[in-house]
């Protein structure tokens, strides 16, 4: 009995397990998990050529093979599997299939996977699919808030679900103890499947359409020529190919290391437990999946037994080199480690005390450092794709991820926006094994953790630090991490006599209402609007692009939708569009000299935009690029007195006539030289960003702080900068803009120069969209009846309603300290009665009555289409004329010839 595991300790639990083995009377249901099907008609000889080679014969590799075959590439595809297709114990897979995921992209991929399961079953292919529904339990008010937010988001995500009472939870699963349960979320469309059966069905469908499968064949090298995949070497010989897809799952990181050059796939395995009981009398086969995230656990019915597991808060990493085959993935069980989950299971389902334990399986599972899937084309090699890191829910992910992967290979793009899951979201540091071992201890617990806003990991910290980091820390900085960089999010008040060095502090919000940092951010906000604020922008991506002749200008004219052929010293803000007109990058380009530009892009773009640029460089090497992110410390000073402050530290004339808005100069500051100064702040406030060679950074910082005392200078963190830009209606890539969003939809048509001499990427798609009309518009919404002190806040992703009908969702949100209201940015659509989007224009947007649904409560909102001119004590024509979203007037009437938005 499972109760013995707690009542009698570990030894007694092992006694029960041994007794269970000695007294087995296996039913056919239990025997079924030991049975693995075999694939017929596998290749006996590896072909010498193929279009695509897939590494891995698990469910992900099978799904990719299936979708390639469906697209007509079956006879050009070979699957290479080091053991047997579908190999791996069926005892250590949960088979949970749920539609709700943390983000819309993952939801869409999961929904595609569910459709595939249903289609295969309808064709008579076994998958183990059973739509039994899932029940999510809540023990805390914050967890119920999460479920209310999920319920409101379900309209946007097309997921059927209902909030339920504890009594209803008990009715859905009578074995539950609901004494400490506040409620739950019932998702009837969820279910379970069998990864092994799904894998075999997919692979049989693929082989029927010509896919070749080679078992007992290990990849030993992935070769490249001219930075493209050219072939694969295996234990059974070599094969030429154009594409390689790493679906090696648990071993994906090791397979990445076999590539020349190596491909970084940051994954590391942890111990992961699955508890199986013996058959339980009268257990309904349609028993729903139970998820109790506050107890870190889940359980489901499987062949008349209970299968249970969980995601413990502190996991045990394992080095994957020690695991050579699938059988070695099953490690000896550690009851001491599993104890925390077992205790929660027995509390939630007391009847398990009387259940007979059959087996506790310790099956290793690999996790990425940010608890997200890893997909997409590798930055190191063209045509090398990755589909791995599905963190125990491969059956939920496989169908959708495989579909997106195949679309990218054949069509060049996917219908899903995949940027948040792309392998190019990482840097080399993320693949450092010591970093992974530190981080992955924390990652599984995130799976069931409370998804508070601005979540921060505790591990893998203090890694990338700007030269002024120690000084910022000692001045009260509370840090968030982005791309490994420690970036101040806000500043605590520090007494002059406080201890130094001050302890490192991580930013936590841990609420869905008014955050604990509200007052500090408010002080920083007003410093930027009425005095001087100083912020560390060092994490921004910085890339130098140059050539001997005009090749760099021609390249950027081709890549950028704005006109970059501007006077030297100008700064241009531009998108880099893909063929569909969506944003691959959104950046600022400073023209340093005739044939030299400095690109400033979002921090999360450091790998992504560099790859985009490299893959479009002229093959003759005439254009070079250098990632100078780590060479410069970026300090932004913003506020109405920044010109006066900086004028005291430099001999350069900073008057608007000599150094106008949106221009660049190389200046001296204090005793330092070679500082690239840009007259912009990315927030809409007056000020400058100083790109300082690292050796001068501390000197310049100290001079700014010393001279700035008379101007009331204050440190400013990311949260205040974010509040400023949201209030000014500034869009940011990765938050508001993505690969599916076009400049026409987000009010930046005026930054697209259709009449350039060089036809830029995406021009045809944007011209067609301009002719046909847009189907959604980027808007700013101010909540008019929301109490920021008492009500739950909008944190992004909330549904927007127009005249009572769903019309879109929010992207970025913040409190507007000048508006004294919650401010939400987002997209509004026009839908007909069947939900089909129609052409939308300004009149339609402005004529509606809007509401935003925050966790089930709708708040009235005022819509705005243009960047507002906020009231200020210090009006400035330069600042006020700049319209980041949908300009209202021509800037040239106020600004010099260099102004190039």
Please state, rounded to an integer, the average pLDDT across all residues of the chain. Answer: 92
Give the C-alpha separation, 421 to 437, whole Å.
21
Q: Tokens for 864?
A: 């705005």
Q: Shortest CA distance to 814 belongs to which of 788, 795, 833, 840?
A: 795
CATH 3.30.70.1400 placement within the chain: 541-628
Fold of 773-881: Elongation Factor Tu (Ef-tu); domain 3 (2.40.30)
Give the C-alpha separation, 436 to 104, whole Å.
26
Q: Name the 3-class secondary structure at 846.
A: helix
Q: Tokens for 190?
A: 């969820």
Residue with tokens 């004590």: 873
Residue-wise DSSP of 433-462: HHHHHHHHTTHHHHHHS---TT---SSS-S
C-beta atoms surrounding 643 within 10 Å = 18
Percent of the chain scored above 70 by pLDDT?
93
Give the C-alpha separation, 115 to 60, whole Å.
16
Q: Does domain 49-90+196-266+371-434 have CATH number 3.50.50.60?
A: yes
Q: Shortest CA distance to 607 belongs to which of 589, 584, 574, 583?
A: 584
Q: Tokens for 431?
A: 């693949």
Look at residue 410 in the predicted model and tell me its pLDDT.
97
pLDDT in tens, 423-475: 999 999 999 999 999 999 999 999 999 999 999 999 999 999 999 999 999 99
Look at residue 20 in the predicted model and tell me its pLDDT.
35
Kindly state the DSSP code that residue 479 receives in the 8-state scheme: E
Q: Name the 3-class secondary structure at 675.
A: strand
Q: Would you say 643 and 878 are in contact if contact means Cβ atoms under 8 Å apart?
A: no
Q: What is the CA radius of gyration of the chain?
A: 29
C-beta atoms surrounding 48 within 10 Å = 10
Look at residue 686 in the predicted model and tell me its pLDDT.
93
CATH 3.30.9.10 placement within the chain: 96-100+126-193+269-367
Kindly state the DSSP code that residue 51 receives in the 8-state scheme: S
Residue with tokens 């390249």: 555
pLDDT in tens, 246-295: 999 989 999 999 999 999 999 999 999 999 999 999 999 999 999 999 99
Fold of 96-100+126-193+269-367: D-Amino Acid Oxidase; Chain A, domain 2 (3.30.9)
Q: Shortest CA distance to 272 belongs to which of 433, 444, 388, 136?
A: 444
- Interhelix angle 718-727/518-530, nearest 10 degrees: 60
pTM of the model: 0.93
Q: Does domain 541-628 have CATH number 3.30.70.1400?
A: yes
Q: Tokens for 492?
A: 């605590």
Q: Tokens for 744?
A: 């026409």
- Specify whether the backbone of 670 is left (phi greater than 0), alpha (psi in -120 to 50) or beta: left
pLDDT in tens, 339-387: 999 999 999 999 999 999 999 999 889 999 999 999 999 999 999 999 9
Look at residue 880 in the predicted model and tell me its pLDDT.
65
286 CB burial (10 A radius; 0-12, 13-18, 19+):
exposed
Q: Would you say 398 and 113 are in contact if contact means Cβ atoms under 8 Å apart?
A: yes
Kindly state the DSSP code that residue 759 receives in the 8-state scheme: P
Reported in sequence order, the residue ranges of 7-58 that DSSP labels E, i.e. its strands, are: 52-55
CATH 2.40.30.110 placement within the chain: 773-881
Strands 477-482 and 485-491 turn out to be antiparallel
């Amino acid at each position: 009995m499972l109760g013995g595991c707690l009542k009698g300790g570990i030894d007694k639990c092992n006694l029960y397990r041994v007794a269970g083995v000695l007294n087995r009377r296996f039913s056919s249901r239990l025997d079924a998990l030991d049975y693995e099907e075999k694939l017929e008609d596998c290749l006996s000889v590896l072909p010498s050529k193929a279009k695509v080679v897939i590494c891995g014969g698990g469910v992900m590799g099978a799904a990719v093979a299936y979708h390639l075959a469906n697209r007509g590439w079956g006879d050009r595809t070979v699957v290479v599997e080091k053991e047997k297709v579908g190999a791996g114990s069926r005892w250590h897979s949960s088979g949970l299939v749920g539609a709700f995921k943390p983000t819309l992209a993952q939801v869409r991929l999961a929904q595609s996977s569910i459709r595939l399961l249903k289609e295969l079953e309808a064709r008579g292919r076994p998958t183990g699919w059973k739509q039994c529904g899932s029940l999510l339990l809540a023990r805390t008010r914050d967890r119920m808030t999460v479920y209310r937010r999920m319920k409101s988001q379900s309209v946007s995500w097309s997921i059927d679900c209902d909030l339920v009472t504890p009594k209803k939870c008990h009715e859905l699963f009578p074995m539950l103890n609901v004494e400490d349960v506040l409620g739950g979320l019932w998702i009837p469309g969820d279910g379970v499947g069998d990864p092994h059966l799904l894998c075999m069905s997919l692979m049989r469908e693929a082989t029927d359409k010509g896919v070749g499968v080679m078992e007992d064949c290990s990849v030993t090298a992935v070769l490249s020529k001219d930075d493209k995949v050219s072939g694969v070497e295996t234990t059974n010989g070599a094969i030429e190919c154009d594409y390689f897809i790493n679906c090696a799952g648990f071993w994906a990181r090791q397979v990445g290391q076999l590539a020349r050059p190596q491909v970084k796939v940051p994954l590391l395995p942890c111990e992961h437990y699955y508890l199986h009981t013996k058959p339980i009398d009268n257990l309904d086969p349609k028993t729903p999946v139970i998820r109790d995230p506050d107890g870190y656990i889940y359980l489901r019915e499987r062949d008349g037994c209970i299968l249970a597991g969980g995601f413990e808060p502190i996991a045990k990493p394992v080095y994957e080199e020690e695991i050579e085959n699938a059988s070695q993935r099953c490690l000896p069980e550690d009851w001491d480690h599993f104890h925390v989950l077992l205790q929660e299971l027995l509390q939630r389902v007391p009847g398990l005390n009387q259940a007979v334990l059959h087996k506790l399986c310790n099956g290793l599972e690999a996790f990425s450092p940010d608890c997200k899937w890893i997909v997409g084309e590798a930055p190191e090699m063209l045509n090398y794709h990755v589909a791995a890191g599905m963190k125990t829910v491969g059956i939920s992910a496989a169908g959708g991820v495989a579909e997106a992967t195949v679309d990218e290979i054949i069509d060049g793009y996917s219908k899903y926006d995949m940027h948040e899951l792309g392998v190019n979201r990482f840097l080399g540091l993320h693949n450092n094994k010591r970093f992974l071992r530190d981080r992955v201890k924390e990652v599984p617990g995130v799976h069931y953790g409370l998804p508070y806003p601005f979540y921060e990991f505790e591990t893998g910290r203090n890694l990338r630090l700007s030269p002024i980091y120690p000084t910022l820390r000692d001045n009260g900085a509370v840090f968030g991490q982005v791309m490994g960089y420690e970036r101040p999010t806000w500043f605590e008040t520090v007494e002059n006599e406080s201890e130094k060095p001050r302890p490192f502090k991580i930013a936590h919000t841990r609420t869905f209402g008014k955050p604990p940092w509200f007052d500090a951010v408010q002080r920083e906000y007003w410093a930027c609007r009425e005095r001087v604020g100083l912020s560390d922008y060092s994490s921004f991506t910085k890339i130098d692009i140059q050539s001997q002749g005009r090749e760099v200008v021609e390249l950027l004219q081709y890549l950028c939708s704005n006109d970059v052929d501007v006077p030297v010293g100008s700064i241009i803000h531009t998108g880099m569009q893909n063929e569909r007109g969506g944003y691959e990058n959104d950046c600022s380009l400073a023209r340093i000299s005739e044939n030299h530009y400095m690109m400033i892009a979002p921090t999360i773009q450091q790998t992504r935009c560099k790859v985009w640029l490299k893959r479009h460089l002229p093959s003759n090497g005439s254009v070079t690029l250098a990632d100078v992110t780590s060479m410069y410390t970026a300090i932004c000073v913003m506020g109405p007195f920044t010109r006066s402050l900086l004028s005291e530290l430099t001999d350069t004339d900073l008057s608007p006539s000599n150094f106008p808005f949106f221009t660049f100069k190389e200046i001296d500051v204090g005793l330092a030289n070679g500082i690239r100064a840009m007259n912009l702040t990315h927030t809409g406030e007056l000020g400058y960003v100083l790109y300082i060679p690292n050796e001068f950074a501390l000197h310049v910082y100290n001079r700014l702080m010393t001279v700035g005392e008379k101007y009331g200078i204050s440190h400013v963190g990311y949260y205040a900068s974010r509040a400023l830009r949201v209030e000014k209606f500034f869009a940011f890539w990765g938050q508001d803009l993505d690969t599916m969003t076009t400049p026409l939809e987000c009010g930046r048509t005026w930054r697209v120069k259709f009449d350039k001499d060089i036809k830029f990427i995406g021009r045809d798609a944007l011209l067609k969209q301009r002719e046909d009309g847009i189907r959604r518009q980027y808007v700013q919404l101010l909540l008019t009846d929301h109490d920021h002190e008492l009500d739950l806040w909008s944190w992004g992703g909330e549904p927007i309603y127009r005249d009572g009908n769903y019309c879109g969702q929010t992207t970025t949100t913040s409190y507007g300290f000048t508006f004294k209201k919650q401010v939400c940015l987002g997209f509004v659509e026009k839908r007909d009665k069947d939900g089909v989007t129609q052409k939308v224009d300004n009149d339609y947007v402005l004529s509606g009555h809007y509401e935003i649904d925050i966790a089930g409560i709708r708040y009235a909102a005022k819509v705005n289409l243009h960047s507002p001119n906020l009231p200020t004590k210090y009006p400035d024509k330069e600042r006020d004329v700049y319209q980041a979203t949908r300009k209202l007037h021509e800037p040239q009437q106020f600004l010099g010839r260099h102004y190039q938005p």
